[in-house]
A and B are shown apart, each in its own frame.
Chain A
Amino acid sequence: MSAPNSNYDPVEVSALDPAHVDAALTDALAAIAAATDLDDLKAVRIAHQGDKSPLALANREIGALPPTAKAEAGKRVGQARGKLGQAFAARQSVLETERDERILVEERVDVSVPPLRRHPGARHPIELTAQRLVDAFVGMGWEVAEGPELESEWLNFDALNLGPDHPARQMQDTFFLDPVDSGLVLRTQTSPVQIRTMLEQEPPIYIVAPGKVYRTDDLDATHTPVFHQIECLAIDKGLTMAHLRGALDAFVRIMFGPDTRTRVRANYFPVTEPSMETDFLCFVCHGAETWGTAEQCRTCGGSGWIELGGSGMVNRKVLRTCGIDPDVYSGFAFGLGIERALMLRHGVQGMHEMVEGDIRFSQQFGMGA
């Protein structure tokens, strides 16, 4: 910085001439406005704001001025530099915005091209349906019980009040194992899980037992030798058929929606007494009797009701076999085929699709349907 210099005449400095300063500013502003990209602007900045730029040179001359002239010249040059700085910043901002926008445009891709390197996998809907049913009961406080698929004859039949001569035992087509007197079979129902649970647990018992079962039926549209059941068993003090019906109502609402309900009638099953056969209101036509009409409901066949399956109060003999005092505890059991639930709920037409393992079947269901 120059020291004040008052003892000699001021020298006319052309760089500080107002006209010169204005011209320098005008040139600079024109150059800024003409800069079309950030590189141009950078060059303009060096030319008009750098050390060698006219205004920088003018600024340097101020120190040589007499004190009386300094203020005015300083003000003039300062204002010009201020304006220039603002113009640079404004232009910089505009050009940066333009550049950013251009880059974003240039980086555009076609996001509609298929992105999956790997085909997504899927769960099998039988497993998903079983989970759905199980979860509903677990949510109500029930627990899941399981057992082996190769099971003892005693647990599969005898303990369920299906003695060797019981007519109902003849209805079942059982896979026996070699040697046939092994006392072992492929279980024909999930009911042996009930027996195992009752033998090993103290009541109250509230279990749901899903699983694979086996019968000697050839595969056709409605039969498969390997299929899936889900059974529920409740043993507690004071349970009645009204509780059984309540559980069945809950069950069909969970599976088929809140508008359905049950209809019950008498039937016979060896494992239960009294026994009950249950239908539920068709969740598609809601019970409209369309039989024989053009609008015949395909889900229920037009009757308005769909057969759910057998149920009943656990036979006292079965309780005794399991060491549970039938004078203290009562209970109920019910079950249904998971394939059937799947067919009803998802419009599956036949067994083949469910058992063949064609990946196109599972893949329609994703990870949970």
Chain B
Amino acid sequence: MPLSWLAEITDLPEGASGADVAASLVSVGLEEEDLHGGDLTGPLVVGRVLELEETVQKNGKPIRYCVVDVGHHGQQITEGKHQEIVCGATNFEVGDLVVVVLPGAVLPGGFAISARKTYGRMSNGMICAEDEIGLGHDHDGIIVLQRLLGEEVAADLQPGDDVIALLGLADETVETNVTPDRGYCLSVRGLAREYWHSQGSPTGGYRDPAEVEVATGSDGGHPVRLDDETPIDGNAGCDRFVARVVRGIDPMRPTPAWLQKRLTQMGMRPISLAVDVTNYVMLAVGQPLHAYDLAKLDGPIVVRRSRPGETLTTLDDVARKLRPDDLLITDSGERPLAIAGVMGGASSEVDAATVDVLVEAAHFDPTTVARSSRRHRLVTEASKRFERGVDPGVTAAAAQLAVDLLVEHGGGTADPGVTDVDHTTERSAYRLDVTEPSRIVGVDYPRDRVVGILRDLGCVVEESGEGSDDRHVLVTPPSWRPDLDNDSPAPDYAEEVARIDGYHRIPSITPTPSEGRGLTHGQKARRLVADTLAAAGFTEVLSYPFVAEESGDQLGLSTDDDRRRAVRVANPLSEERPLLRTTVLSSLVDVLRRNLARGHKDVAVYEVGLVFRPGGPLARAPIPGVASRPDQASLEQLYAAVPDQPRRAAVVASGQIEQAGWWGPGRAADWSDMVAAVETVAAALAVPVLVASDAGHAPWHPGRCARITLTDGTLVGHAGELHPKVLAALELPARTVAAEFDLDVLSAASEEPVQVRPFSSYPPALTDVALLVAGAVAAADVEAALRAGAGEALERIVLFDVYEGERIEADHRSLAYRLTFRAPDRTLTTDEVNGFRDAAVAAAAQATGAVQR
């Protein structure tokens, strides 16, 4: 919004800058996006190209050496000759009027211009493109004024004329970010109103540009029928349609320069008078308009929903298949002319031969427009405004403004017949408790303040009607505020009062919850696990849970493995990774690989995160209504449709886990480090676990994989060395080791408070046994048998040596255990201890065939 336009509608303080206006708008909740213009100093003048010599440079780029008449400026004064300028653009010819910036000028961004040698010759300034002078974002060649402003306007220009004044470049423009609830601010009318509020809404300080004398609806206008048979949520696709006809427009008449300037300041390109006028009125009052070539229409305009199989080629030359929900403007109900509120069709487009124009100003349902815009991936200036809500009270005025401009500048005549099909309904008044804003905001707003602010906003506030009393007033929002017209608008009114009164007046009061139970057991357990792994030497990392289709194969999962049942993302960022991980390891290996690629040789990392285990095809989650709490059955169905997402931890390590140093050589991470990691975590949570070998669990090495369970058999996870084939497929080093375990299981298992076992203060008795077992016997089984046989006096058992070699039978191992016994009530005798030990050995012999050495 240019400040000059703003100043037409509301009073701008003397000397207010773009930054001042932006700050004022921020204070009423309109965020600043950008400031343009105003930061340019001349000389910036009109030039006429007299000569040009084009040469192609070594790099293949054409360069033009130009002589330009810039009037009584520059070299004309110092050297008595025309300006010599080097230019890299090629979109102009001798005789064209161009924009020349002369040495001494400063362009936006602090870019100072001086005479300098370029491509072998002196360039005394520069011929400008639009973006260089802050006029727009275009950099496709330089500005040719005949094209920008039209021949007629250009005819009056003289070389040397000031371009800053000509194009309004001294005029600053403020760009704001308009939130979806403030559709009315997508117009100078709305923004100016907000600026006026920011200045305290002084009486007489706002002049509504839509307040013009409007021709009221009458017979004889172009017939229009609203024929929506399938409204969305009960809202008709179109509830107001104004059609006006202007005949006898001279298609050669240019758009006046001031109007072109405003369009370019607002970032739009001038096209033709009829199109420019509709765009200008839209920018002014926020009502999108459409201009039809009347000669291309055969009958009445019918607004209806699309029928199966219909197509329309829109103005952007795309042939679009229409969908049943699309609202269409049609010729006689047959031929589609436009997708309502989104884009017009090529067949009825205004062109260079158009003399009779039909102007459409309509009010379309936001949902209908939003759906069409989304379906056709077509976001237009019109659709943006209709989606956010256009003022249904401004329809006729907008049409009138357009008609007036076409008559004035196009030489046309307005038809006396005015079509205004108006199905809009009166907005109803809301009985507002005037203490409500104070109750919601926490600032004490007196009744007069509330009423005053609402009236400034354009609301009608009745203080004496039926239902009003000393606490209640009847408020009807203005037509441009559909956001205030909902079934419980009290918070909206509260926001308006707070906004206009100033958010800075809201105090700060720390809320005080009455009681909090702290972290849940599960939350504490998760932290403990993460901390324990870090303390054990592993580094926590995070990985994206997106994995490749081949992940299951790479991990060597069997075809019926549940971990192959992954959720697929319909719109993945990368087609190469469309699946959601079913194990943390499957994405954690990427992090390991990245670290190795960066030259880290010894890497031990872990991640705690969710995995996605649908178990089968996704169930369809219901979409209940939102008017009230869905019934319990719907909620249960909703929750149940969300797939299982257990929280798991994975650890992976490669290279040395203990470094070489003055103490001796390092030690490579091996399968046992992974089992130890899981056992350490379990111990931290005081959860007893059992370890057994698991020869068939991918992606682990069949001979080096431990299955870790709770004592009741519940699976906790797996740990060990990864399968060599998996490592090859994943391009990871040999002997890479890994573990993955379920945090939810460990957390649940540690939930109950630990119950302390009494312990004895009598002296312990220690005894060692060495057992010879066959190679296939698991140490864990031997230990379990020893424990079972040793009886209750056994306090501790430690496997302190494992021997295989020449001194014993082939394919056998010698396991040396130290047993610690202690009785709760006495010192054990040597005979007793020997008895326990023999019983333990006998149990081990029976269970595992162990023989005492």
Contacts and interface: CB of A to CB of B under 8 A. Distances in A.
Given A148-B610, A359-B541, A249 B29 contact: no
A313 B663 CA distance: 63
Of listed A141, A153, A234, A354, residue having the most chain B CB within 10 A = A141
Contacts of A148: 610, 642, 645
Interface stretch (A15-23, A66-74, A76-84, A271-279): A271-279
A118 interface: yes
B180 A242 contact: no
A121 B604 contact: yes
Contacts of A144: 519-520, 523
A266 B495 contact: yes
B244 interface: no
Interface string B614-625: 000011111110
Interface string A130-159: 010010001011111010111111110011
B541 A225 contact: no
Interface string B508-535: 1111111111111001000100110111
Contact of B571 (A127, A175, A243): A175
Given A152-B638, A315-B491, A167 B442 contact: no
B638 A154 contact: yes
Interface string A207-231: 0000010001010000001100000
Nearest to A270: B180
B595 A274 contact: no
B759 interface: no
Interface residues of B, number: 108
B507 interface: yes
Contacts of B590: 357
Nearest to B371: A165
A184 B180 contact: no
B29 A267 contact: yes
Contact of A216 (B573, B602, B628): B573
Contacts of A151: 642
Interface in B396-454: 439-443
Contacts of B643: 150, 184
A218 B367 CA distance: 30
Nearest to A263: B504
B772 to A, nearest CB: 33
A124 B542 contact: yes
A58 to B, nearest CB: 51
A118 B537 contact: yes
Interface string B168-195: 0000000000011110000000000000
A253 to B, nearest CB: 10
B624 A154 contact: yes
B327 to A, nearest CB: 13
A202 B376 CA distance: 44
A154 B622 contact: yes
A144 B526 CA distance: 13
B754 to A, nearest CB: 23
A45 interface: no
A206 B510 CA distance: 13
Interface in B225-277: none
B693 interface: no
B491 A240 contact: no
Interface residues of A, number: 104
B618 A179 contact: yes
A38 interface: no
Contacts of A273: 491-492, 495
B659 A116 contact: yes
B498 interface: yes
A186 interface: yes
B623 A183 contact: yes
A336 B533 CA distance: 28
B674 interface: no
B540 interface: yes
Contacts of A107: none
Contacts of B657: 118
B629 interface: yes
Interface of A: 113-114, 116-124, 126-127, 131, 134, 138, 140-144, 146, 148-155, 158-159, 161, 163, 165-168, 170, 175-184, 186, 199, 204, 206, 212, 216, 218, 225-226, 234, 236, 239-243, 245-250, 261-268, 270, 273-277, 313, 315-317, 320-323, 326, 330, 354-359, 362-363, 367
- Across the A-B interface, give the 9 residue pairs with the lowest CB-CB distance, nearest first: A266-B29, A323-B629, A242-B442, A240-B442, A274-B495, A183-B621, A268-B179, A357-B591, A141-B516
Given A236-B511, A359-B605, 18 more contacts: A121-B539, A138-B516, A142-B516, A144-B523, A150-B643, A161-B626, A179-B618, A218-B573, A236-B513, A240-B439, A265-B29, A274-B492, A323-B629, A355-B542, A357-B542, A362-B539, A362-B541, A367-B531
16 contacts: A114-B662, A117-B659, A119-B537, A144-B519, A144-B523, A161-B626, A179-B570, A181-B620, A184-B642, A240-B440, A242-B509, A243-B511, A265-B26, A274-B495, A323-B629, A357-B595
